[in-house]
Amino acid sequence: MTDALVIGSGPAGLMAAQELASAGRRVMVTEAKPSVARKLLMAGKSGLNLTKDEPLDNFLAAYGTDEKRLRPMLSAFGPGQVKEWAIGLEQSLFTGSTGRVFPNAMKASPLLRAWLGQLAAQGVEIRTRWRWLGWDGDAVLFATPAGAQRLAPKVTVLACGGASWARLGSDGTWTGHFQDTDLAPFKPANIGFAVSWSEHMHRHFGAPVKGIALHAGDSQSRGEFVISETGIEGGGIYAVSRAMREGAPLRLDLMPDLTHDQIGSRLTRPRGKASLTNHLRKTLRLDPVKITLLMEFAHPLPDDLVPLIKSLPVRHQGPQPLDQAISTAGGLSFGALDPSLMLRARPGTFAAGEMLDWEAPTGGYLLTACLATGRWAGRHAAAFDLI
């Protein structure tokens, strides 16, 4: 008989299962897809960013208005604890120059294999191709390859993911099992933005834009971004995407390490017969992609280029489609949960991970909060009917 049920096999769900099993619960994890943790594996293809090594208050500040809600979970399981957990799975780690923490193997698969081995040794069962269909009274309903299944666990942890990357399992269909009043609308987070490029930009598709500062409302970033065929994307954009999504205009400082006066002084050097492009390249060392961006968004160029170089307005057509977002804001409202992350309307059922209404930038913050909320929900679920 299943004592504890976890629905969803991403980082939050597996962490909840670990906590439940460590407390002596008989745990079953169900997953709608044919294999577990598909989004984690995809995210790890370019390097699994586990967390960020920085003081906790700085780390928490990255969550913006969601910091207060997540502080208890992240104080209990923050960057230091994430590193200890990964090392406990025999994953050696390194910290990059920006503080981001990665396994030496870079990929997610070695860590996931070790984690699944640990869970199996704890007796955790994992059932794939089990799609959650909601509740019938106290029973939890599933569609499975063997037909309809009904489970009656003592406790349940929901870790159903957000609403981006549907092909990997985060499709948001679980919202149909809740009242609208318990939900906040999904919004794309860590998302690229559509731009209708002129023909002059085509040669720069795929090019990175480095050594800049991005500003949108109160948000700013020194990260880089990439020019794609359909727009702009990458870490620098993701860091300010929340403000952009809410309507703040994006402006680029193409030379953040120089002042207005320094740039102006260089531009007054004799130009001779050089074209404006060559003059910008020689006097400011602006690379071709920055010069083309300047032409793209400020044509025709004024005589005084300094204000544009320091604050170039970027025209865009809004965020890319929701399913292309790395993560989502919105989901299950914290108002529907008590401080233990238990559903107020369904005692014994808890929720964790990206299905909750919070968001964070990339850089280790997403994964850490998924692990932290999964651990929090799992621990409270383990103690639920023992109190």
The reported pLDDT for the residue numbered 44 is 77
Contact 100, 364 (CB under 8 A): yes
Model pTM greater than 0.75? yes
Closest CA to 112 of 192, 210, 38: 38
- Domain-ending residue, one of 292, 314, 336: 314
For residue 146, the 8-state DSSP code is T
pLDDT 10s digits, 44-89: 788 999 999 999 999 999 999 999 999 999 999 999 999 999 999 9
- Residue 183 sits in the same domain as residue 278: no
- Residue 239 sits in the same domain as residue 330: no
Among residues of the chain, what percentage have pLDDT more than 90? Answer: 93
Mean pLDDT of 359-385: 96
- Residue 309 sits in the same domain as residue 369: no
SS3 136: strand
Contact 378, 157 (CB under 8 A): yes
Q: Which domain holds residue 351?
A: 4-187+324-386
42-56, 112-126, 366-380: segment of lowest average pLDDT: 42-56
- Domain-ending residue, one of 314, 333, 368: 314
**Residue 13 CB neighbour total at 10 angstroms:** 30
What phi and psi, each to the nearest 5 degrees, are found at residue 331? Answer: 120, -145
- Residue 179 sits in the same domain as residue 301: no
Q: What is the CATH number of the domain that holds 41?
A: 3.50.50.60
Domain count along the chain: 2
- Residue 222 sits in the same domain as residue 289: yes
SS3 251: strand
- Residue 181 sits in the same domain as residue 207: no
- What stretch of H or E contains 300? none
26-30, 125-129, 131-135, 273-277: segment of lowest average pLDDT: 273-277
- Residue 295 sits in the same domain as residue 332: no
Distance separating alpha carbons of residues 168 and 9, to the nearest angstrom: 11
- Residue 43 sits in the same domain as residue 135: yes
Contact 77, 375 (CB under 8 A): yes
> How many C-alpha atoms does 304 have within 13 Å on its Cβ side?
7
For residue 302, the 8-state DSSP code is P
Task: Kindly state whether residue 136 falls inside one of the protein's structural domains.
Answer: yes
What phi and psi, each to the nearest 5 degrees, are found at residue 224? Answer: -95, 165
Strands 93-95 and 100-103 turn out to be antiparallel
Task: Kindly state whether residue 373 falls inside one of the protein's structural domains.
Answer: yes
Task: Kindly state whether residue 162 falls inside one of the protein's structural domains.
Answer: yes
Closest CA to 116 of 126, 107, 103: 126
Task: Kindly state whether residue 154 falls inside one of the protein's structural domains.
Answer: yes
- Residue 72 sits in the same domain as residue 167: yes
- Domain-ending residue, one of 295, 314, 333: 314
The reported pLDDT for the residue numbered 386 is 63
- Residue 37 sits in the same domain as residue 134: yes
Mean pLDDT of 225-229: 97
Task: Kindly state whether residue 319 falls inside one of the protein's structural domains.
Answer: no
- Residue 207 sits in the same domain as residue 355: no
- Residue 161 sits in the same domain as residue 32: yes
